Amino acid sequence: MNEIFVKPKRVVVNALEYLSEALEDGLQKDLQENQILCPKCKGTGLAIDDQVYGLSDDPNKTPGYFPYHTQYIASCDHCFAGVVNLCEYCGKQLPRFHLRCDCDKAEEARRIIEREEEKKRMNNAKILKYDDDIAQSMGMLYSDDYGENEGYFTEWEEFFEYIYDECESNCRPKYVWGTIPYSFYLDTDNILESACDDLHEDARDNLVDVDELMMFHENWSKRQTGAETYCLSYKYLIEVPWED
């Protein structure tokens, strides 16, 4: 015998009654400079979300038939807590969680800040000749002007070839940055801690021959030279040997 399909019972929640009571004194917002109440949710930070669904035993088998609803109050997707930010340069409303605008004035302001930060880093760096022992020991060097390999290069010839092709003579950099190498390394303590997470509380202390494992990891890690990675360091500036 086929069971009779019973549609879900639709009820209407009196959300207004609850909100009127909960928000009797309104919502306080301390707006900072270049902030306004969200135009969409009127500063409430709230929105109605509507989850629609269908039922497998519903006799209506029309494709895309989702006639049932579960509506609820959610966060407004246009703001954060009912407040939106405006660009300090053009006044345009910024997308949710964004603090930067893409207008020309905002971009120029960012470039000025970046140039000042770069100038400060360069003033604090130690300048080395390209043939200095410290510079010679660096496996790679870095330059924002080198447009290949994410700015990293190993040989001066690579750098010169790119710069001669891509940069005007009056824009060629005087310095490049040094780098710091990071070698592959297995942290035995962290590995053992993780392996013992689901074991009894004294498991880690009861492990034996841990020193032997540490020695093995150390020696094995030293052989993984192909994983060595170089990262930009602002400690040293290396003079570009244009004349040489």
pLDDT at 179 over 90: yes
**Rounded Cα distance, 141 and 162, in Å:** 14
Burial of 77-111, coded b for 16+ CB within 10 Å and e otherwise, reads ebbeebbbbebeeeeebbeeeeeebeeeebeeeee
State residue 24's pLDDT score: 83
pLDDT tens-digit readout, 189-203: 999 999 999 999 899
What is the mean pLDDT of the segment spanning 93-105? 91
Q: Helix (H, G, I), strand (E, B), or coil: what is residue 152?
A: strand
State residue 185's pLDDT score: 87
pLDDT tens-digit readout, 195-238: 999 999 899 999 999 999 999 999 998 898 888 899 999 999 99
106, 107, 112, 115 alpha-carbon torsion, rounded to 10°: 150
**Rounded Cα distance, 197 and 190, in Å:** 11
- For residue 31 the two structure tokens come to 């707006």
Residue type, 10: R
pLDDT tens-digit readout, 129-173: 999 999 999 989 999 999 999 999 999 999 999 998 887 777 789
Residue that wins the pLDDT comparison between 126 and 184: 126
pLDDT at 2 over 90: no
State residue 226's pLDDT score: 83
pLDDT at 244 over 80: no
Would you say 129 and 135 are in contact if contact means Cβ atoms under 8 Å apart?
yes
Neighbouring residues of 90: CB distance < 8 A, sequence distance ≥ 6: 101, 103, 105, 106
The confidence band for 69, taking pLDDT boundaries of 50, 70 and 90, is confident
pLDDT tens-digit readout, 14-55: 888 888 888 888 889 999 999 999 999 999 999 999 898 888
State residue 1's pLDDT score: 53
Would you say 93 and 84 are in contact if contact means Cβ atoms under 8 Å apart?
yes
Q: Which residues pair with 46 in a beta bridge?
A: 75
pLDDT at 81 over 60: yes
Give the CA distances from residue 29 to residues 35, 72, 100, 157, in Å, rounded to whole numbers and listed in that order.
10, 24, 22, 60
Q: Average per-residue pLDDT in the chain?
A: 90
**Rounded Cα distance, 13 and 15, in Å:** 6
Q: DSSP string spanning 9-24?
A: PP----HHHHHHHHTT
Q: How far apart are the first and last CA of the chain?
A: 95
The confidence band for 7, taking pLDDT boundaries of 50, 70 and 90, is confident
Phi, psi of 102 (to 5 degrees): -105, 15
Residue that wins the pLDDT comparison between 64 and 73: 73
Q: DSSP string spanning 61-98?
A: --TT---EEEEEEEE-TTSBTTEEEB-TTT-PBPPTT-
Neighbouring residues of 49: CB distance < 8 A, sequence distance ≥ 6: 71, 72, 73, 74
